[in-house]
Amino acid sequence: MKKFFEDFLKEWWLFFTVVTFIILARVFVFGSVIVDGHSMDPALQNKEQMITLKRAKIQRFDIVVSKEPGELKKRIVKRVIGLSGDTVTYDHDQLYINGKKYAEPYLDKYKKLLKKDKLQKTYDYNYDFQKMAQRVNAFTVNYNNEVKFTIKVPFHHYLLLGDNRPISKDSRYPSVGPIPSSIIEGEIKFVFWPPKRIRLMEKNK
């Protein structure tokens, strides 16, 4: 019996080592998420599947996955705009963080389409989205449709916004607000499905 176990270990130790490593990495290092909805269009599209890095240091403009406040069984995918303690201001689509001006190139495509036709052709798959876009006074407004607003990010929180601002429910809304760091699950690093959309995620794109 002893020889049997010795032979078994010699032949299978590598397999079990690899399996154990994969399981531990899945639990503590990597995760996965499926995009549900259009709030991150066009950077991330509905039903795309992604790999997240759980232990990543979250930085400004990263795309992250988080539990949804008040609905902790649900997860949301948004972009980090404000860090702990930041003062974030939007003024007619211009972003200021702690008084410094920032560009948001990942918004350029849809901002142009909003000016062109209020995103009516882009949202032709959803009449409610078309109505929402028709009402906004700028691409990034607050929940009261104000083009100039300021949000103070509490310590140990992040301000998360969707890229598709006219239809995204995010930290601009009191029901969501800045997100506690404790419920952020990780940073989106890699899109693996569908095959034609496989790519590494790049910041600011």
78, 118, 168, 171: which is the annotated catalytic residue?
A: 78
Q: What is the rounded distance in angstroms from the CA atom of residue 61 to the CA atom of residue 82? A: 8
Is there a catalytic annotation at residue 39? Answer: yes
Burial of 10 (0-12, 13-18, 19+ CB in 10 A): exposed
2, 3, 39, 57: which is the annotated catalytic residue?
A: 39
Cβ-based neighbours of 185, under 8 Å, separated by 6 or more: 31, 33, 52, 54, 64, 65, 66, 67, 75
Q: What is the rounded distance in angstroms from the CA atom of residue 52 to the CA atom of residue 57? A: 12
Task: Please give the positions annotated as active site.
Answer: 39, 78
